Structure formats: structure tokens, C-alpha cells
Chain A
Amino acid sequence: MSSARIATSAERRADPRVHGWDPAIADLDGFRQAQRLAYRCAEAIAAELTPGMTEREAATLMRRWLAAQGAEDCFHQPFAWFGDRTAFDGFIGFRHLGGFNPAFYPGSRRLEEGMPFILDCAPTLDGYTADIGYSGCLGENRILDQLMDDLLEYRVLILEQVRQGRHLSEIALAVDRLCARHGYEPRHKAYPFQVLAHRVEKLSADKSKHRSVLNFGVRNIARLMRGVAQGRREGWSPLWSSGSASDHPPTPGLWAVEPHLGFRGVGAKWEELLVVTEEDAFWLDDDVPQMRRWAQRGLLPLAKAA
């Protein structure tokens, strides 16, 4: 990806506030550092998970780890899901509290051998926010392996369609269709507002302690809400779903994209930042655990062929 082109695109924009923040090289690096920190956190805590541990305990470990590494704020406090909760089994049919389903808060489910787990954290580092999802399993789980293999296709599909300038709702529907073809449930529909992705914005680098309400970082959510209000006036939305609010081309900026698949009580996801510019789009960082896993399993050439 040519970063020069991004810079010129940023310069060319008359009013950079139209679609919120437009990425510049220096900022991208900041986001990359935040995302790497988040993935390092997930990998570190995943390695510490042992049978009997609860979701809340795992989430607390992540929160402490991030704080110790200098994360001053978050988009949301870390989440952890174990066992069939990785697939949000049973919750997807609900029309919940105006799109807000409390089922994703970490609970008292204890980890067992062979259980899948998902760790999801969204730290803010020097004003740069990342949001990542990390799937794994204590021991072996064939279904999880298959889900994680198949998740590669979603990474390829989403980027391809964003580059084609397809409407976000259309892309979300294409993701649904791919789920149907695979035989999976699109579990991201159980997220608040059924989002496949949401925007993250740059905040001021401010090391003072910031508040979270209901596990969500106040500054980040307030920023997102401003985006919702602005988008409503201008015909776009920072919340990317298959609904009509997302019936618009990709808006430049950073999107935390999180396809989440479920099959028979096993769920898997990844979440990464997608950079969208005026002319192009690319994943912020290819050096992420899921990419390394696909490479190890020899799946990457297949994705390139597709």
C-alpha cells in the first residue's frame, strides 16, 4: 500500500472533519502500536489460561496487563467468552434492549479442557485506540480449527469489496451469504446494533485516568456517538451493519472489523483495524496472530488465488 497516496489524499481533503479523522502516516503508526499491544495482551493472557478460570478472571488479567503496559483508556474493557458463549448460542434471535445485548459481558463460566475461548480487548495508547479479537482453545477442537481456517476468506472478501467501493450494508450482506455458504451463523449480529464493524477515532494523548461506564470507555464511546449524530445528518454511519443506515460507500478512516462465526456452540472471530482512504483500503497490520496461523497452515496462497 502506498503511504504517499494516503498522505496526499489527506492533504487534498477540504474539510477533514466531514468523515471524521482521515489517516496520516504518523497516526497509522500509533494505531499499529496500539493494535500490537492489544494482540500481545491477548496472546499473553491466552497462554496463562488454565482450566477452572472464569471469564471475569481472564478479563481482569487482560485489564491489568494492559494498564501495566501503559494503556491509559479503552474503547471497551476486555471481554472474555468461554465454551458455547463464544458462539452467543441462543441470543441471536433476540431483539434486545434497542440493540444492546448484555450477554457479551464476561461472566462466571469456567474454562474446561477442549473449550474454545475468545479474548477481545480495545486499549487506547497515547490517544490511539485498537480493538482486537483473538480466538483459541484449551487443547484441541476440530470445529474451532475449521472456523478459524475459514475466517481467512472473510478477511479477503471484506477488503476486496471495500476496495470496490461497495456499500457497507452490501458488504455486510455478502458476509452473511458467505456465512450461509459455509454453514455458519453470523454471530456478530449479536453485538450491539448487529455491527460487523465500527469506527475508531484518534483521541487526544492524555495520560490522566479515564472513566468507563458499563465497561465502555467514555471518551471513545462519546466520540462514536458524535459520529452517529453527524452520520445521521449526512447519510452515513460509524456502525457498519447490514441495515439501511450502512447503505453508503466506505468512509475514510479506521474501522475495527470483527466477523464472528458460530457453529454448534463453537464461535470464533478476529478483529482488526481496516484503513480506508479516499482511493484505497488496506489492513492496518498483516503481522497479526491469525495471519501467522494461516501462513503456518499453508492457507495464505489459497487466499491470494481467490
Chain B
Amino acid sequence: MRHWLRSYGLLLRWNLLRLRTSLPFLFIIQTLLSVGIVLGFSFLVPRDDPVSVLYLATGAPTVALITVGMVMAPQMVAQQKFLGLFDYQRAMPVPRLAMLAADASVWVALAVPGMVAALLVAVVRFDLSLTVSPLVVPAALLVALVTVAVGYGIGYAAKPELAGMITNVIIIIALMFSPVNYPADRLPGWLAAVHQWLPFQYLAQAMRETLDVPASGVPVLPFAVLAAWAAAGLAVTYRLMTRRA
């Protein structure tokens, strides 16, 4: 365990040094993007419909996490592959999961300010009052973990050129064609059925129903589904990281 923590600390330090010039930039873009989604979508959805407003306000932090974990992270992995960083990392005597954790920490930390800013803007803009559950913290961490785990799986599995396109598709699906910023019943039946098997609606639900707890309490299903997605994403990523040609 000591070796694990030591490796994690050193790799995290390397990450912070490596990204220190781009982090402030990513940070600003990420926060603007998250706030921008709330403001932009508020022109699209009726502002006097409480359901629409709730979905939008709580969907924005979800989209913030999806952007970081499933778009920025795999793009950075692709870039690292391209730069040859992997050749160096693969030969390091460190636990593979410590390597993944050191990367994931940076991404989660990067997503938090955007997430909070988006939520605050939404609350002010729509004059919302939320019933926040303390479970929102583990929920946000789980959502972040799922997006990073799946994002890393994509980054490791796909060729660098392809990873960029896949992440573009993901962000369009998440923003426009997923029950994240609006309820699932607005989707055509077949697409709603597809989303039963994708993580997006559960990511949104875990955030939404811990930020504003429904009368029936915080549901278990999204957490179970997300745990399964996180496990699958981590397993695939771990497998790809330790694969020997």
C-alpha cells in the first residue's frame, strides 16, 4: 500500500507539472462551457416549466463531468500515446491502477469548479430551491469515476486519430440526444430504450436526484448501474494498460 501511495503521489506530481501550463486554460474553458450550457439551453427550454428547469439545472453539472471524463481525458490519452509518453509509463515500476488514479484525480479536480459554477448559475437564473442530499458528494464522485473510466477505456482502445472523433460523437449524444438535460419521455421510444443500456441517463439521474431529492427518496438503481459501468470501464482500461503484445 505504501508503494501504491508513493507511486500515486509521484505520478500525480508529474501530471501536475506536465499540465501546469494547460491546466488554467482547460479550467477556464471547462467552467465557461458548463455555465454556457445552462445559459444557452435556457433560451431553448420554457423557463416557466419546473421540470424542464430542474433537468437543465442539474443536467449542466452532469454534462460538465461528461465533458471532462469522456472528452478531455481520452483526448489527452490520445495525445500522450502520440507523444510517446506511454512508452515511458509502461516501463515504470508502478502499480497500473496508481497510474490511472493519478490521472483520474487531475480530471475530477478539473471538473469540480465547472460543475459548481454551472449549478450556481442555474439556481440564480431560474430562482430554484433545491433539496440537496449529502449523497450528492459520493454521487458526483461516482459520476466522475464512470466518465473517466469509460473515457480512458476509449482513449486506450482507440487509435489516436479515431479517439478525437469518438469523443465528438459522445458530447453530441450527451448534449442533444440523451435524457440528461430533459426527461426521457421526450425521446422517441426506441432511443429511450437504447438509453436504458447507456450510462448517460443514470449519470444525470444520480446527480439530479441527489441535488433535489424526490419525494420517494434517493433511488438505488442509477448507483447500481453506474457502479457496473465504472467496474467495466476500469476493467477494460486495466486490461489495455497491462496488455502485452
Asked if A and B bind, the verdict is no
Q: Which A residues contact B (CB, under 8 angstroms)?
A: none
Q: Which B residues contact A (CB, under 8 angstroms)?
A: none
